Amino acid sequence: MSDERTKAIIGDVVEALRGVLRKHEVTFAEYRAGFMHMAKTQEAGELPMLIDVFLNSTVVEIENATRTGSKAAIQGPYFVPDAPFVEGQLAIRDQDMDLPKMLMRGRVTDQSGAPVAGAVIDLWHSTPEGTYSGIPRHGDLDKKYYRGKIKTDADGKYECISILPVPYQIPNKGPTGMLLETYMGWHSWRPAHIHYWIHADGKRDLISQAYFEGGDYVDDDCCEGVGNEFIVPEAYENGMRLMEVDFVLDEASSPKPARVAEPAE
Ligand SMILES: [Fe+2]
């Protein structure tokens, strides 16, 4: 991003905010209350989450305007970059072995329909408690559970078994939750979902999510992250919920806004 671009964007942000102050004739007391709430949000380490809740889906929307293959989704804060490679199944805790399973499978192709072999797919999803492994403030469950990397075969196909994720609340006990729930009357729930990050040589990376049709909060995601593309109808195979999702990758030469992996919280 050039300095000129930064200057133009920040200048417009400030002007837009000034417009809001004028529109609502905000008083000095209200301005200070808002200022102090932002300071508390920063102190609680929730500023990145607050910004993501309001704005991440818009940046994804802008990115998707340049995609002709599958659309991207929000990444969320729980990606861990060095998850292990797995063979056909994510690691399941002993205590979760009897829980319902899901079979994630599908095919990765390019825009001509040709298979993309050897694509690496990072998969991650919640525990049955609605937390994520490898995240210290989620109890620091070993990151080998409910996340891993798999590869597509020569036909572009992938397949991996795990337990079902659940809907979960984004942290709602601090200043972000107070703003969303108390002052704005929102809720803080996300529907159950699976995260995907697909990398393949010569192709544009794709970060996506899949959802369970009919599941709680699919139509009312607090992060506005649900696109229509990957809401998967209910079907079962060998007693497992089938999550069949095919991905179409854009070429790497197509416009590619930078997407940087951030360390997990
Ligand atoms: Fe998530």
Q: Where are the domains of the chain?
A: 44-249
Q: How many helices (H) and strands (E) does the chain have?
A: 4, 12
Comparing 65-69, 226-230, 233-237, the range with the smallest average pLDDT is: 226-230
Q: The domain 44-249 is classified under which CATH number: 2.60.130.10, 3.40.50.1100, 3.30.300.10, 1.10.940.10?
A: 2.60.130.10
Reply yes or no on whether the pLDDT at 265 is more than 60. no
Q: How far is the CA of 66 from the centre of ligand 1 (A)?
A: 24
**Largest alpha-carbon pair distance within the chain?**
64
Q: Is the pLDDT of residue 248 over 90?
A: yes
Residue 255 has a pLDDT of: 54
Percent of the chain scoring above 70 in pLDDT: 94
pLDDT at 225 over 90: no
Ligand 1 mean position, distance from CA 77 (Å): 8
Give distance in angstroms: CA of 193 to centre of ligand 1: 6
What's the CA-to-centroid distance between 12 and ligand 1, angstroms? Answer: 31
Distance (Å) from CA 54 to ligand 1 centroid: 16
What's the CA-to-centroid distance between 26 and ligand 1, angstroms?
A: 36
pLDDT at 258 > cutoff 70? no
> What per-residue confidence (pLDDT) applies to 259?
54
Residues 155 and 175: beta-carbon distance below 8 Å: no
Structure tokens at 122: 């990072």
Tens-place pLDDT, residues 115-171: 999 999 999 999 999 999 998 888 889 999 999 999 999 999 999 999 999 999 888
CA 165 – ligand 1 centroid, Å: 9
- Please tell me the distance between residue 40's alpha carbon and the centre of ligand 1 in angstroms: 25
Distance from residue 32's CA to the centre of ligand 1 (Å): 34
Confidence (pLDDT) at 117: 98
For residue 76, the CA-to-ligand 1 centroid distance in Å is 6
Between CA 101 and CA 90 the distance in angstroms is 11
CA distance 46 to 108: 36
Output the pLDDT for position 1: 56
Phi and psi for 4 in degrees, rounded to 5? -65, -40
pLDDT confidence band for 263 (50 / 70 / 90)? very low
Backbone phi, then psi, for 255, in 5-degree steps?
A: -50, 135
Q: Ligand 1 centroid to 249 CA: how many Å?
A: 22
Cα(142) to centroid(ligand 1), Å: 17
Backbone angles phi, psi at 39, to 5 degrees: -65, -40
Q: What is the mean pLDDT of the chain?
A: 91
Q: From ligand 1's centre to the CA of 167, what distance in Å?
A: 9
Supply 257's token pair: 């806004």
Euclidean distance between CA atoms 250 and 233, whole angstroms: 25
Distance (angstroms) between ligand 1 centre and the Cα of 65 equals 23
CA 72 to chain centre: 9
Q: What is the whole-number distance in angstroms between the Cα of residue 20 and the centre of ligand 1?
A: 32
